[in-house]
Chains A and B, each alone.
Chain A
């Protein structure tokens, strides 16, 4: 296990800044997820930590030792990339054994380690096959076994499940997590999928356009994304954002939703100098039926009803806002219908700075 410090790392390719002054610390033995959309800089960051890419500036420290100039083989790291390449001319056994052969390890010990790792990943029956005889899932398991067969202090995983079909993903998620838990190692898992980050990590680092936009415990980051970008990254479909304005009537302040809803926010003491706010609400906090005593009915127009098997992703229009709700599987919805929401699920962000100001609370609560 290794403590990893990333200090002021910047990197550009062809004049384009891919990482811009990225800093964070990962505790020894922690499970960390780097969560961000495509092109956020995740892969570059992992490559720099692994030592296969050099930063333009900044440092990487392993247990307080500056390893920025160390070659990959001196860093004791296991790496699993999204596009795993198996050696086509080698059997599954030899593919898995390949990282061990470079070291001075006895044949018997190699055999034992490979068989053990193959058993854990349920590919022990395939050891004599060649990559072209494997299904996508089997090939991915072989790549995983190869990465995990040597005991490393740090494992870097770059979207290891992204290229698998969704049924395989379903079964691999928890399995992979259980395997990683048996390793006494620091684990960094890069993914664009908030669901995967939630499953794999204790700590999450939100990366966007080469910048860290929030770090913290997984649960805390999901339950209160600290800014508008984090709010968009931490959910699929992304959090709904609605533009609102402050309207003052007498001595009371209201958030005005295009004249269709007014929410008393006097007691929240929003910054006086700001008049515009963005209200965020998660797709799963919009309902087809009233939920709890604070529910408000909102008439909306249906745009698209996507059936995702067990659920529906419903895209709808409320005034000028396009919203998404995530509800249980039901039959065809009407072209206009009522949805229900609870203002206590609202996050209120500053339109100017994008920062989270507060979650909505009822007066007196």
Chain B
């Protein structure tokens, strides 16, 4: 087990654009963390730097207090579960036994350990099966089991569920979560899937274009996104981002004006801003209400989940809201932005309200 510290990590594959730039992060001992972002955000580069497959152009990496920046992967005691499960052409039992072969512990003890791990990853009933003949979900269990049995310091998952049969994902997710709770190893889970990241991790790091935007608890990622990009990326549909100008304690959106609450402190001199509000937080009415904004319904998108998403617009803005009631296209609708759900970002999309 180990605490992992990334200090000013920058890496460039070619001279022009760094793949990751000045990333600082601390993964505390025994915590589960996720690295989340769209493809090309730099998450895989960070993963490779942690496991030692890449030496960063700049910066240092520490396991506990030891500088491991120059250490090769085999000296770091890091284990990885890959997207496409790797199994050896032998029985499930022998696959699990493989990492123990050269260890100087009694045979009985090795056997006990294999059975224990098999039980934990749900493979007890297929121990004698030839591993390559198993389906993707079972193969991934073998890969996870083989990694667990080594008792690594750091456990890395690289999109481990992307190639698993959809109908088997939920069960595997439940079990990975259980194993994590039980073993309490330092875990880093790399994914582009927001649900997996938020489900598995206590803390989620969100990256975009090589930069770390936020490394925070799941609740804060949802409730206090550090950037407009995060608000949009997390949630389905994502946060509405509306461009406006600050004027005398209000934000002018052209078609409507939002009065800033007195309690909301914004940095002085701010002019162009983006207001963020999640579809599920917008209040909606099909009858006119004073002070609410009038929009026109463009489309109603049933979600089959007890509610629908309504696409609405003014002359200058399109937003999405949620409604349990069906509405007709081209009819007016009135909306209100409750102040407790308002996020304000600057021109560059960085959060400015506390």
Q: How large is the interface on B (under 10, 10 to 19, 20 to 34, 35 or more residues)?
A: 20 to 34
In the complex, what residues of B have CB within 8 A of residue A315's CB? 170, 174
Can you name the residue of chain B whose Cβ is closest to the Cβ of A330? B219
Can you name the residue of chain B whose Cβ is closest to the Cβ of A309? B235
Q: Scan residues 285-317 of chain A and give those whose CB is less than 8 A from a CB of chain B.
A: 285, 303-311, 313, 315
In the complex, what residues of A have CB within 8 A of residue B232's CB? 167
| Residues A198 and B303 in contact, CB atoms below 8 Å apart | yes
In the complex, what residues of A have CB within 8 A of residue B267's CB? none
| Residues A284 and B306 in contact, CB atoms below 8 Å apart | yes
CA A285 to CA B324, docked complex, whole Å: 13
Q: Could you list 11 examples of A-B contacts with CB < 8 Å?
A: A195-B303, A198-B303, A235-B305, A284-B307, A307-B218, A308-B236, A309-B234, A310-B280, A313-B195, A315-B174, A326-B305
Q: Give me the interface of A with B, judged by CB distance under 8 Å.
A: 38, 165-167, 170, 173-174, 177-178, 194-195, 198-199, 222, 234-237, 282-285, 303-311, 313, 315, 326, 328-329, 331
In the complex, what residues of B have CB within 8 A of residue A199's CB? 301-302
Can you name the residue of chain B whose Cβ is closest to the Cβ of A136? B39
In the complex, what residues of A have CB within 8 A of residue B280's CB? 310, 328-329
Interface 1/0 per residue, B28-40 and A, CB below 8 Å: 0000000000100
Q: Scan residues 91-111 of chain B and give those whose CB is less than 8 A from a CB of chain A.
A: none
Q: 6 tightest CB-CB pairs across the interface, nearest first?
A: A307-B198, A284-B306, A309-B235, A304-B174, A310-B235, A198-B302
CB proximity of B184 to chain A, nearest CB, Å:
16
Residue B24 at the chain A interface, CB threshold 8 Å: no
Residue B192 at the chain A interface, CB threshold 8 Å: yes
| Residues B199 and A306 in contact, CB atoms below 8 Å apart | yes
Residue B3 at the chain A interface, CB threshold 8 Å: no
Q: Give me the interface of B with A, judged by CB distance under 8 Å.
A: 38, 166, 170, 173-174, 177, 192, 194-195, 198-199, 218-219, 222, 232-238, 278-280, 298-299, 301-307, 311
With A307-B218, A308-B194, A331-B219 known as contacts, the answer to whether A174 contacts B199 (CB < 8 A) is: no
CA A174 to CA B299, docked complex, whole Å: 7
In the complex, what residues of B have CB within 8 A of residue A285's CB? 306
| Residues B199 and A309 in contact, CB atoms below 8 Å apart | no
CB proximity of A182 to chain B, nearest CB, Å:
14
In the complex, what residues of B have CB within 8 A of residue A328's CB? 280
CA A166 to CA B38, docked complex, whole Å: 11
With A165-B38, A307-B218, A315-B170 known as contacts, the answer to whether A194 contacts B304 (CB < 8 A) is: yes
CA A335 to CA B302, docked complex, whole Å: 32
| Residues A284 and B236 in contact, CB atoms below 8 Å apart | no
CA A162 to CA B194, docked complex, whole Å: 17
In the complex, what residues of A have CB within 8 A of residue B233's CB? 167
In the complex, what residues of B have CB within 8 A of residue A305's CB? 199
CA A237 to CA B303, docked complex, whole Å: 12
Can you name the residue of chain B whose Cβ is closest to the Cβ of A169? B236
Can you name the residue of chain A whose Cβ is closest to the Cβ of B196? A306
CB proximity of B254 to chain A, nearest CB, Å:
22
CA A247 to CA B11, docked complex, whole Å: 69
| Residues A309 and B301 in contact, CB atoms below 8 Å apart | no
Can you name the residue of chain B whose Cβ is closest to the Cβ of A197? B304
Contact partner of A234 (CB less than 8 A), chosen from B194, B218, B301, B304, is B304
With A174-B301, A174-B311 known as contacts, the answer to whether A304 contacts B237 (CB < 8 A) is: no
